[in-house]
Amino acid sequence: MVKIEAGTKRYALDVGVLALAHSVVENNPFSERLQDALDRLSEKWDVTTIGVKVSGVEDLVVLALARSRGPFRLYVEVGGRFPALTSATGRLVAAFAELSDADLGRHFKQLNWDNAPEFETWKKEIRAVAKKGFAIDRGNYMGGITVIAVPVLDSQKRLAHALVAIGVSDQLTKERTQSLTADLMLEARALS
113 SS3 class: coil
Query: Each residue of 67-113: pLDDT tens digit?
Result: 988 776 677 889 889 889 999 999 999 999 989 999 999 999 999 99
Contact indicator for 88, 149 with CB cutoff of 8 Å: yes
Average pLDDT over residues 123-138: 95
101, 120, 135, 188 from 105: Cα distances, Å: 6, 10, 19, 29
**Domain regions of the chain by residue span:** 29-191
Identify which of 85, 125, 127 has the alpha carbon closest to the alpha carbon of residue 109: 85
137 by DSSP, 3-state: which? strand
Extended beta strands in 90-132, E state: none
> What pLDDT shows up at residue 138?
96
Model confidence pLDDT, tens digit, residues 32-59? 999 999 999 999 999 999 999 998 898 8
Task: Give dist(CA 52, CA 145) in Å, integer.
Answer: 19
Considering the segment(s) 29-191 as one domain, its CATH architecture is 2-Layer Sandwich (3.30)
Cβ(63)–Cβ(38) under 8 Å?
no
Task: Write down the pLDDT at residue 105.
Answer: 95
Share of the chain above pLDDT 70, in %: 84
Q: How confident is the model at residue 4 (pLDDT cuts 50, 70, 90)?
A: low
Residue 76: per-residue pLDDT: 81
- Rounded to whole angstroms, the Cα distance separating 133 from 79 reads 26
Contact status, residue 87 vs residue 114, Cβ threshold 8 Å: no
What are the CA-CA distances from residue 191 to residues 38, 80, 165 (Å)? 11, 21, 16
In this structure, are residues 37 and 10 in contact, taking their beta carbons and an 8 Å threshold?
A: no
User: What pLDDT does residue 65 have?
Assistant: 93
Chain mean pLDDT for the chain? 88
Q: Where are the beta strands (DSSP E) in the chain?
A: 2-5, 10-13, 48-54, 59-66, 81-83, 135-138, 145-153, 159-168
Residue 133, pLDDT > 90, answer yes
